[in-house]
Homo-oligomer: A and B are copies of this chain.
Amino acid sequence: MKTFEVTILGSLAALPHKGKITSSQILLYNRQSIMIDCGEGVQMMMSKYHINPSRIKLICISHLHGDHLFGLPGLLSSFQHHQRTEPLTIIGPVGTAEFIDVVHKLTQQYIVYPIYIKEIDIVEKTEVFHFDDLVVSAFPLNHRIVTYGYYFEEKARVKKMNKDAVKQFQLTVEEIRQILKGEDIKRNEGLLLKNEIFTLPDPPFRSYAYCSDTMYDEKILDWIKGVSTLYHEATYLHLLVEKAKERKHTTAQQAGRLAKKAKVKKLIIGHFSSRYNDVKELVDEARNEFEEVYAALEGSVFSI
């Protein structure tokens, strides 16, 4: 099975604190890395947790608040310094391109490797990128500024053949091509051989959803239903539910409730307010609603 795991580089809300940084994580799928959000100091964390920056092909920015964004200019300039030649795609809300352009113009940073910036402006879950076997979608969250969640889903591009059936029906090369294209086979005298006879069922597909920053909003349930691993912000304990509502953040209890309603397999909570010295109380609160809860501690690696 292909590697599919997420490494937490930072999970603090708002500010770096005591050697920890704000939101950033690395999703590794089959030797290709995707960075999700990019808080200040992210390069130090990548070096600390042995993440190879050159594997990053895609950076997904949830929203343009500084605690998710301010590590980006330095990272892009380090890529150049390390003579990156491979293209990089950056996906984010409208404004992402202006941010990058102005920084490069003012710092007179000469970037040679290709950067493709894809600004999204969507109201439904929408496919925004794909690798060979991984589809990336985005969907709107509910925060103080335009914010997107991201959904990463394995998808077999080509069906695996059922060799026994191929042998039994003695398929020709042309017929095998038809099957690989997903077509059925029509033989003489109206004989129809359905595609699924010759292909194996897909293995269970794994998926990862990233939801930060957002207030509790059941609108996203349809979009994240049944996801293997859900990362959801849980900035506060439920004691501060009013503050959470006002700042458009989620409490740990609410994150647990949402995970349960969405029937996810595993919940990772993060984006912790730095007022909590020990995030165990946030995990415990979420566990009252949903059992499989983990804290996004820096350096943790979760397999999806």
When C-beta atoms are compared, the residue in chain B nearest to A93 turns out to be: B106
Q: Check A40 against B106 for contact (C-beta < 8 Å).
A: no
Given A73-B70, A99-B106, A103-B99, A15 and B43 contact (CB-CB distance below 8 Å): yes
Q: Report the separation of the CA atoms of residues A74 and B18 in the bound assembly, to the nearest whole angstrom.
A: 15
**A95 and B106 in contact, given A41-B40, A41-B41, A66-B77 (Cβ under 8 angstroms):** yes
Q: A10-21: contact bitstring with B at CB < 8 Å (1 yes, 0 no)?
A: 000011111101
**A288 interface residue, CB < 8 Å from B?**
no
- A83 an interface residue at 8 Å Cβ cutoff? no
The docked-state distance in angstroms from the alpha carbon of A145 to that of B108 is 8
Interface size on A, residues (CB 8 A): 36
Q: Which residues of B contact A106 (CB under 8 A)?
A: 64, 95, 98-99
Contacts of A103 in B (CB 8 A): 66, 99
Across-interface contacts of A71 in B (CB, < 8 A):
40
With A15-B81, A106-B64 given, is the CB distance from A44 to B41 under 8 Å? yes
- Is B70 touching A74 in the complex (CB atoms < 8 A)? yes
Q: Does A227 contact B (CB under 8 A)?
A: no
A142 to chain B, nearest CB (A): 15
Binary per-residue interface labels of chain A (37-75) against chain B in the complex, 1 for a CB within 8 Å, 0 otherwise:
000110110011000000000000000111101110110
A186 within 8 A of B: no
Contact A74 B144 (CB under 8 A): no
| Given A64-B108, A98-B106, 20 new contacts (CB under 8 A) | A15-B74, A16-B44, A16-B47, A16-B74, A19-B44, A40-B41, A40-B71, A40-B74, A64-B107, A65-B108, A66-B73, A66-B74, A66-B107, A67-B77, A70-B70, A70-B74, A95-B106, A99-B102, A107-B145, A108-B145
